[in-house]
Amino acid sequence: MATRPGRRLRSFPNPRPARDYRIHMRIPEFTCLCPKTGQPDFATLELDYVPDRACVELKSLKLYIWSYRDQGAFHEDVTNRILDDLVQAVAPRFMRLTARFYVRGGIFTTVTAEHRQPGWSAPPGVHLDPIAAAPSVGS
């Protein structure tokens, strides 16, 4: 096998550091093990962040996520641990990680953790009005 899981997250320079913009990633194949039973847990991770000087490199993120496959972890802990590692790797202005775990014992669990740089706040959103219906011809 040419690639192996790894815990080293790599980054690259943000190509537009003067602009606040959101990067969204959906990672549908996260797995770890229940620390109590050893049975597999499955989740879809959703990562949203506003980069500062660096962006996370996707191949290293894939290998990092893969590294949890044989690790026992509570949902709350693993979500916060992944967020902490990503924040350490790229020091974003803002980052949110949402982990949507599949059913275990009849319960779906979603854990959301966030990081904000001190003093950073989101710019106001853009709200566009719907296009008004054009008047009909001849009216």
Interior CA angle at 71 toward 69 and 74, to 5°?
110
Catalytic residue among 20, 34, 48, 52: 34
Q: Identify the sign of the CA torsion 77, 88, 46, 33.
A: negative
**Does the active-site annotation cover 20?**
no
Residue 68: left if φ>0, alpha if ψ -120 to 50, beta else—which one?
alpha
Secondary structure class of 82 (helix, strand, coil):
helix
Distance, in Å, from the CA atom of 29 to the CA atom of 31, rounded to the nearest integer, reads 6
**Does the active-site annotation cover 32?**
no
Distance, in Å, from the CA atom of 27 to the CA atom of 100, rounded to the nearest integer, reads 10
- Active-site amino acid positions: 34, 41
